[in-house]
């Protein structure tokens, strides 16, 4: 049974691994045995220290996924991951941003930044990783979706559109690549205590409304994603394709 969750000898590329959900996922994969390449625009020194403390190798690729990322740039990120450890078995598309505004006030700049980061970069990183994974006979792609892959949210139209797109792409890519050895799945976090939710947690009206709706009775902690990430990255999920797995404290069941 242990072998189903053993990632020893694997290499994982995780975007947005400097803090929050991405950091927790990177650390969980390292603790299961994977070497980690982190890609993002912010220093990931804390993540590096924790990955190395788990006995795994770490490499950082600086890149900005929010400013009109190009196909060639994203392919270059994958190439740097391959250069770091000589292989790429797992891609975690975690990097994401949110812009809160009434739909009537959303600017083109904010719309483009959200869609570029959350959706465009995810697709072209997946494409570049899949070219390698198809050649090597398989791999695991894990997208970070959201409850707003299922719902519309409030004052986050670009984010809701992007995360609905993440769910759609997860299904579409799974349909194309499942028979060729690549598992494409997604995790849909609920309300987690991260930088993206700081404004909500500080809102004296919205915060208690949200908390009252969560059957588990608390906000998620980044480490609550560890089990789902390791499951989708390992052999335990070899026959799991195209799933968008909520990790939400029961929110969608309410």
Q: Helix, strand, coil % (nearest 5) of the chain?
A: 50, 15, 30
Q: Domain range holding 51?
A: 2-246
DSSP of 112-130, one letter per residue? HHHHIIIIIHHHHHHHHHH
Q: How far apart are CA 61 and CA 214, in angstroms?
A: 36
In a domain? residue 254: no
Given a cut of 70, whether residue 36 has pLDDT beyond it is yes
The yes-or-no answer on residue 239 being catalytic is no
Q: What is the pLDDT of residue 195?
A: 84
In a domain? residue 252: no
Cβ–Cβ < 8 Å for 109, 159: no
Burial of residue 156 (CB within 10 Å: 0-12, 13-18, 19+) is: buried
In tens, the pLDDT along 111-155 reads 999 999 999 999 999 999 999 999 999 999 999 999 999 999 999
Cβ–Cβ < 8 Å for 94, 144: yes
Q: How many domains does the chain have?
A: 1
Burial of residue 202 (CB within 10 Å: 0-12, 13-18, 19+) is: exposed
Catalytic residue, chosen from 159, 191, 192, 231, is 159
**Region 87-99: what's the mean pLDDT?**
96
In a domain? residue 61: yes
Query: What's the CA angle centered on 247, arms 37 and 192, to 5 degrees?
Result: 75
In a domain? residue 168: yes
Q: What is the pLDDT of residue 116?
A: 96
Domain containing residue 179: CATH number:
3.40.50.720
In a domain? residue 253: no
Distances (CA, A) of 151 to 119, 154, 230: 17, 10, 26
In a domain? residue 200: yes
Given a cut of 80, whether residue 1 has pLDDT beyond it is no
In tens, the pLDDT along 173-216 reads 999 999 999 999 999 999 999 888 888 899 999 999 999 999 99
């Amino acid at each position: 049974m242990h072998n189903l969750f053993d990632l020893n000898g694997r290499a994982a590329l995780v975007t947005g691994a400097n803090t929050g959900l991405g950091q927790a996922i990177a650390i969980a994969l390292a603790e299961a045995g994977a070497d980690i390449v982190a890609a993002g625009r912010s220093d990931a020194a804390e993540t590096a220290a924790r990955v190395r403390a788990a006995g795994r190798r770490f490499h950082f690729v600086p890149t900005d996924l929010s400013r009109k990322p190009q196909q060639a740039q994203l392919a270059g990120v994958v190439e740097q991951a391959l250069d770091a450890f000589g292989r790429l078995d797992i891609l975690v598309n975690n990097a994401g941003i949110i812009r809160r505004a009434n739909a009537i006030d959303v600017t083109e700049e904010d719309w483009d930044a959200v869609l570029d980061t959350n959706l465009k970069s995810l697709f072209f990183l997946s494409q570049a990783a899949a070219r390698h994974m198809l050649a090597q006979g398989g791999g695991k792609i894990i997208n970070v979706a959201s409850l707003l892959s299922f719902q519309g949210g409030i004052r986050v139209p670009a984010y809701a559109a992007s995360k609905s797109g993440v769910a759609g792409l997860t299904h579409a890519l799974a349909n194309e690549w499942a028979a060729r050895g690549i598992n494409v799945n997604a995790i849909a976090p609920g309300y987690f205590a991260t930088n993206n939710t700081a404004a909500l947690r500080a809102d004296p009206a919205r915060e208690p409304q949200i908390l009252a709706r969560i059957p588990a009775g608390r906000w998620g902690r980044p480490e609550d994603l560890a089990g789902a990430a390791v499951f989708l990255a390992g052999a335990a999920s070899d026959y799991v394709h195209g799933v968008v797995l909520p990790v939400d404290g029961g929110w969608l069941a309410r």
